[in-house]
Every structure is written in structure tokens, then in C-alpha cells.
Structure 1
Amino acid sequence: MKKWAFVSDFDGTISKKDFYWLVIDTYYPEGKPLYKKWKAGEMQDIDFLSQVFQSIDQHEEQIIQDILSLPIDEHVPSFIRTVQERGGDFYILSAGTDYYIHHILEHYGIKDVPVFSNKGYYEDKNVHLSIDENHKHYSRRYGIDKSKVIAELKETYDVVYFAGDSEPDSHPAKVADLTFAKDALQDLLKENNVPYVAVDSFLQIEEFLREKGTV
């Protein structure tokens, strides 16, 4: 068994803004009523995201520029290096798409970070999702079942830490050894009696892991 892994959600956890909000705010005002429908349970997460990502209507250079404008937690690049230097492996686990995550990782010079997410690609001025219903991590609702990914990683590592911020993260939080929760995830886990450490930033996560002697 390998020693430990740190798995983080991307949108709202590593990034300070969800990519779908950037698209809605910039290109797709119709996404606001759609967001309400989704939150009311009238749409699956993956259908909402697919519709938003296919409503950008810009050349790829512009889309990449927009992706790189996403603000991220400033401490993330150094936190990832610290995890890797201390014998841990860092993973990103996202129910968005790897299309924009890979651009961000490259932009910040972040290396050796595998990404579990919905496959995405640029075509005809939009971002499209390629969902494989036969994939072992497939979920009808999210495209990717985060709990399955964490359970699989736990077969390889002694300890799996997880960080997230919203409803899709409430499921893997039940499987991870310890979850760091931001924003809405804190109340969701509290309601379900799932233990967690409340945080606002990766700096706080690092301080916690330092005190434990993990990093």
C-alpha cells in the first residue's frame, strides 16, 4: 500500500468561482433560470453543465483566456508541491470537465496531478462533454461518481483525504478518511452526521496537516 493521497474537488474548492458561473455571467444569461431549474431538481447535474458549456459560442483562444481568468486559491500550487514532497499523491476529482482543469494546471506549472473528471473537448465554438456510460466511474446524475473514485483510491492508499465545497462532494466525503469542507458542504455534512474539518482555504488545510505531522 502507498502511504497517503489528497484528493480535491476543483470548482469552488481549488478555483474560487465555478467555471459554469463564469460562462453564465459572461455569455449565457439564460443560464440563470436554468440554474434554478437544476437546483430545484428538475435537471441532472450533467445535463445542466452540458447545456451551459455548449452555450459559449467563442473561438478556443477566447475560451482558454476565460479559463485562465478563473481565480484560484493562491496557496494551491505550493500546497500540491508540499503534499508531493512529503510522500503524498495529489489528485483532482471534478464533476465538471477535465478540459478547463488541464489548462489551469498547465498555466500554474502544476505537474504530476492526475485528474478524474468528465472528458471535455472544444468543437464548433463550444465545450462538449464526452460521457462514457460504460465507464467504471459513470454516474447518470454527475457523469462521474466521485464516491467510486475515492473507494478505488482507498484500495491503494492507507489514508485518503478529500476537500470539497458543494453537494456532489457530500457523497465522496462519506468514503474518504477525512474531509475538509468549504461553504455549503459544511452544512450538508453536518445534517448527515458526516465528520469533517471546516476550512476556508488550502492554507488552513496545510496548517491542519502540519499539526498532525502529515506534511
Structure 2
Amino acid sequence: MDKRILILCDFDGTTCLNDIGNQILNRYAKGWREIDRAYCANKIGSRLAYLQIQPLFHGTKREMTDYALHHEKIDPHFQPFYQSCKEKGIDLKIVSDGLDFYIASVLRKYDLQEIEFYSNRVVFQSNATLSIEFPSPRNGCHLCGTCKSTILNFYREFYDLIIYVGDSYSDVCPAMIADLVFAKPILSEKCRKNGKACIAYENFRDVGEYLSKFLEEPAGDEESPFWDVATKQGNSRHQENL
């Protein structure tokens, strides 16, 4: 098909089946769970949560990177999915509210370092402490460390169709404005409550099979389930983030 397509993927819980960020926090930032409960209850955004957690961290970059590489569980279907996207001329980028050092390390481990990713940045100090920076662009909202909606909207003028693949809380806002959404249970429930159509998936094999089946359907074909879902979702892309 002739359309320019971009796939934006979350990292923890999506590209990786487990949440490496949470596992690192459990190991190297004792006492972070209380702050996380406030985040999950929507009392604070992830940016403020990270700033509160930051002084709790204690560990070197080497220790945390080795820990991440030992515990990561990348979706076994992600590599072939990415290669299939490349063959079809579909662009893929990772958008994460996690931390850059472990994302970069995992991508290198699987020879996927060419994938562009957006995330929060860690600056390691010599005394085994660190600071967290938020380099990704944002459009007036300071709740998230990485504003995925701002990133998605930036690419609007370059693509005809933007597909979002995610799993949890930090994926809700970009899912609301994506043209097509693949969602795991937490994100699926949020989409349902916000009136946003989405497609349930377990892994990237599911996503790949769906796209392979329907991406060749002509745009506007009333008989195409793909374009039916994409149109319904596209109609809501400009609604307020809920």
C-alpha cells in the first residue's frame, strides 16, 4: 500500500514482556513503591514521581545495566516483527517513560540499536547516585517524564497512519490520539472507559499477523475490518486526552 505508516511502541511491558524499570527500582531504589502508588492513583505524574524517587537510587551504571541485561525478557516476536516492518517500508520507533540506559543496552543486546527511541535520561554520578533528566519535547503538559502525545503529534505531518502499541498507564494519552491502537489489559480497560476502540494483543506476533492480514486492504474499503477500526479511531484523534 502507498500510505506512510509509523508504529510507536512502548518499551516496558510491550517491547519487553516484563517491566525492567520496575525491577531496577525494586533493586536499587528502596522505598519507591509508596511514590508509585500515588502515580498509579493519578495523584502525581511520572515526572514528579521520578524526581521524588531520584534520591532513593543507589547503584552504579555498570551494576544497573548488568542487572537489566540479566533480567530482561524481550518479546521473542519483536525482532521478526521489526524486520517485517522494515521490509514493508513501515517505520517503527520506541517511546518510553522509562530510563535510557537499560533501553539502549537491551536494544544493543539484540542488535536493534538502529531503532530510534525516546525516553527519560539518567546521568550517573561517581558516588553511585544519579539524576534523571527529561529531554523529550512536551507541549504544555508536565505530568509525564516523556510526553508520548507530543512525540506522536510531531510525526503527524510525516505519516498518513500512526499505530500505537502499548500496555499501561503512560500509554493512555497517546492511545487516545493514535489512528490504531494495540492494547494489553490495563491500556485496553482505559481505552474502553474513554470510548476509544483498540485491538487486544498478547505479543508482537499478534500485532504482526493483524497488520499482515489487513494492511494491503485498499483505504476506504467498507469490507475491510482494518480500515473500519482505523477510521473509527482516527475520528477521535483530536479529542481531549482523558
- Normalising to structure 1: TM-score of the pair? 0.88
> Does the CA contact (< 8 Å) of 2:24 and 2:68 recur in 1?
no
Residue identity opposite 1:33 in structure 2: E
Distance 1:207 1:152 in 2: 28
Distance 2:16 2:96 in 1: 11
Question: Cα 1:130–1:28, aligned 2, differ >3 Å: closer, same or farther?
Answer: closer
The alignment partner of 1:93 has SS state of strand
> Does the CA contact (< 8 Å) of 1:137 and 1:146 recur in 2?
no
Question: Cα 1:53–1:15, aligned 2, differ >3 Å: closer, same or farther?
Answer: farther
The alignment partner of 1:79 has SS state of helix
Superposition map of 1:49-64 within 5 A? 49-52=50-53, 54-64=55-65
The residue number in structure 2 matching 1:129 is 132
Match of 2:212 among 207, 210, 213: 210
Greater Cα radius of gyration, structure 1 or 2: 2
The residue number in structure 1 matching 2:237 is none
The residue number in structure 2 matching 1:146 is 148
Match of 1:116 among 115, 118, 140: 118
> Does the CA contact (< 8 Å) of 2:12 and 2:96 recur in 1?
yes
Residue identity opposite 2:59 in structure 1: Q
Match of 1:81 among 64, 80, 83: 83
1:9 aligns with 2:10: yes
Q: May I ask how many residue pairs the two structures share in their alignment?
A: 213
Deviates most, 54-63 or 135-144: 135-144
The alignment partner of 1:10 has SS state of coil
| Deviation of 1:97 (Å) | 2.4
Aligned-CA RMSD value: 2.2
Distance 2:172 2:12 in 1: 14
| Deviation of 1:136 (Å) | 4.5
Distance 2:68 2:190 in 1: 29
Question: Cα 1:2–1:210, aligned 2, differ >3 Å: closer, same or farther?
Answer: closer
Distance 1:119 1:26 in 2: 19
Structure 1 stretches lacking a partner, 5+ long? none
Task: Report sequence identity in percent.
Answer: 24
Residue identity opposite 2:11 in structure 1: F
Residue identity opposite 1:103 in structure 2: S
Question: Cα 1:28–1:97, aligned 2, differ >3 Å: closer, same or farther?
Answer: closer
> Does the CA contact (< 8 Å) of 2:40 and 2:169 recur in 1?
no
| Deviation of 1:208 (Å) | 0.3
The residue number in structure 1 matching 2:227 is none
> Does the CA contact (< 8 Å) of 1:38 and 1:44 recur in 2?
yes
Higher strand share: 1
| Deviation of 1:54 (Å) | 4.6
The residue number in structure 1 matching 2:186 is 184
The residue number in structure 2 matching 1:162 is 164
Structure 2 stretches lacking a partner, 5+ long? 217-242
The alignment partner of 1:203 has SS state of helix
Distance 2:92 2:74 in 1: 16
The residue number in structure 1 matching 2:219 is none
Residue identity opposite 1:81 in structure 2: Q
Question: Cα 1:70–1:50, aligned 2, differ >3 Å: closer, same or farther?
Answer: farther
| Deviation of 1:138 (Å) | 6.7
1:199 aligns with 2:201: yes
| Deviation of 1:76 (Å) | 1.0
